[in-house]
Amino acid sequence: MGIEGFSIAEARFLAPDVKLFRVVAPRVARKQQPGQFVIIRIHEHGERIPLTIADSNPTEGTITIIVQGIGKTTKLLNRLNAGDFILDVVGPLGRPSDVRLFGTVVVISGGVGTAIAYPIAKALQRAGNHVITILGARTKNLLILENEARAVSDEVFVITDDGSYGEKGLVTGKLDALIAGGKKIDLVLAIGPIPMMRAVAEKTRPCGIKTIVSLNPIMVDGTGMCGGCRVQVAGRSQFACVDGPEFDAHEVDFDGLAKRNAMYRESERQALEQFVSEPESGPELIRHRCKLEDVAPR
């Protein structure tokens, strides 16, 4: 929390453009519960972005975050390595997941959503639930945390869009099969891209299976102050940062969420284009600290 920020104890790529960071943040580590997130800012000119906490180690005082390099800030973050610093880390924010004994729980995650789903699955299993995990990815090398998920699940199904690993298809297909097979499911947790979460919600709605999603709207402060993250749930405006980020999937207005998330697409595109065109650009601070070579395993 000194002038340099929060130091990175470990950094490694899990997949191309997907990097795991273990960050020293003792107060956050001590308080973190599954489902909560932090807001980070990398440098003095940086934006504030929310990232879900994938794990924490209160003894070491570290939290784990997993970052997919999509926009300027996440791509810049993914250039940082062990020994570098993140200027600001604040949290844990949001309500923790509702962890108790439900019975059989199906945890469905798509892509980097697995980083969010994993700690919740772990807690649900610890609470005595029978945890079935469906891991989805576009292709084999984008699949993350498979071993970790296996360790906290009673059954695991891996699905890839292109069939390069596990079964070929969509996560919703596997969910369909489970439901059709007569499996009694008490809770479904879906975390991933909006279309995936929406599709899961539509599968479980007719069967009346309680379904929870973790939302990722635009945020600034993360403490309820700006209202940028508001989303319609059951016809009421809710702030994902303090009322969520988890909500009843059958009550969420996914269409509205998707539209609001597109609000800064043009600015995001502009910032990314500029960033990619001048890879050496950016404030002195980051240039100084970053090792610019990309160490992603290819």
Token digits of residue 22:
């273990």
Q: Return the residue of 52, 56, 73, 211 that touches another protein, per CB under 8 A.
A: 73
Minimum Å distance from CB 219 to another protein? 10
Nearer to another protein, 13 or 264 (CB): 264
Coil/strand/helix, residue 88: strand
> What sign for the dihedral angle of Cα 249, 253, 254, 260?
negative
Nearer to another protein, 136 or 282 (CB): 282
Minimum Å distance from CB 62 to another protein? 15
Nearer to another protein, 93 or 249 (CB): 93
Minimum Å distance from CB 268 to another protein? 7
Q: Tell me the H-state helices in the chain.
A: 26-31, 72-77, 114-126, 146-151, 171-180, 194-204, 240-243, 254-261, 265-277, 284-289
Spatial strand order in the sheet of 18-24: 85-86, 6-15, 18-24, 62-68, 49-57, 37-41, 88-93
Nearer to another protein, 182 or 280 (CB): 280
Q: Return the residue of 194, 220, 285, 296 that touches another protein, per CB under 8 A.
A: 220
Quick check: 228 binds another protein (CB under 8 A)? yes
- Give the DSSP letter of residue 99: -
Nearer to another protein, 45 or 184 (CB): 45
What is the distance between the alpha carbons of residues 256 and 144, in angstroms, rounded to a whole number?
A: 29
Coil/strand/helix, residue 112: helix
- Give the DSSP letter of residue 2: B
Amino acid, res. 145:
L
Pairing of strands 6-15, 18-24: antiparallel
- Give the count of residues interacting with another protein (CB under 8 A): 43
> Which residues within the stretch 83-122 sit at the binding site for another protein (CB under 8 A)?
87-93
> Which residues within the stretch 13-72 sit at the binding site for another protein (CB under 8 A)?
27-28, 31, 41, 45-48, 72
What is the distance between the alpha carbons of residues 134 and 117, in angstroms, rounded to a whole number?
A: 10
Minimum Å distance from CB 119 to another protein? 17
Quick check: 224 binds another protein (CB under 8 A)? yes
Minimum Å distance from CB 239 to another protein? 9
> Which residues within the stretch 247-276 sit at the binding site for another protein (CB under 8 A)?
256, 259-260, 262-264, 266-268, 270-271, 274
Amino acid, res. 94:
G
Quick check: 285 binds another protein (CB under 8 A)? no
Q: Return the residue of 183, 232, 251, 285 that touches another protein, per CB under 8 A.
A: 232
What is the distance between the alpha carbons of residues 13 and 8, in angstroms, rounded to a whole number?
A: 14
- Residues 216, 219, 220, CA angle at the centre, nearest 5°? 160
Q: Return the residue of 138, 205, 237, 287 that touches another protein, per CB under 8 A.
A: 237
Nearer to another protein, 101 or 225 (CB): 225
* Cα torsion through 249, 219, 263, 85, rounded to 10: -120
* Interface ranges with another protein (CB under 8 A): 1, 27-28, 31, 41, 45-48, 72-73, 87-93, 220-221, 223-228, 230-232, 237, 242, 256, 259-260, 262-264, 266-268, 270-271, 274
